[in-house]
Structure 1
């Protein structure tokens, strides 16, 4: 068959289909893996998991100092900073009573 030099644009069909497929794939990827910019964040309740909060301090450094005091007493603990100017000290439930008594005497609390 001879190739017509007229208005035949069949050579554009392949690249057009490929471009449309890539554009649709890019849109799907943006939707599926996007950051959700512009959407409101759902209200999150703090989940302490297996740990119990024994103190909430206004500075992370104070919370780390309390954690050192608890560590010296043999109590395993961790610090969580859920918001600016807020640091929670968390311990395991079996150590919570001793940790609260130590936190009550802590000068930074």
Structure 2
């Protein structure tokens, strides 16, 4: 009858458990890194979408204000608006279009 060497058996079992633990830890680290990258890409995508939306809104406001400023310039050029009336017209435009101040700040 052959004698069982318990110390070798325990050692090999421990090595097997260590290898399994190392493999599981490696898989978890890889999974964590993938999740972090996914969250970063999601945040980038959301930020890009918000920037596109904001730039569209700003473009719309600028177009509206460009029309108003062109009307003032046309009135000045054609003589419909005198220099003395310009300040009052600017006040009226600001009252009607508070976006003038927003775009100026942007």
- TM-score range (shorter-chain normalised) is 0.3 to 0.5
In terms of fraction of residues, the more helix-rich structure is: 2
TM-score, normalising length: structure 1: 0.37
In terms of fraction of residues, the more strand-rich structure is: 1
TM-score, normalising length: structure 2: 0.38
Q: Which has the larger radius of gyration?
A: 2
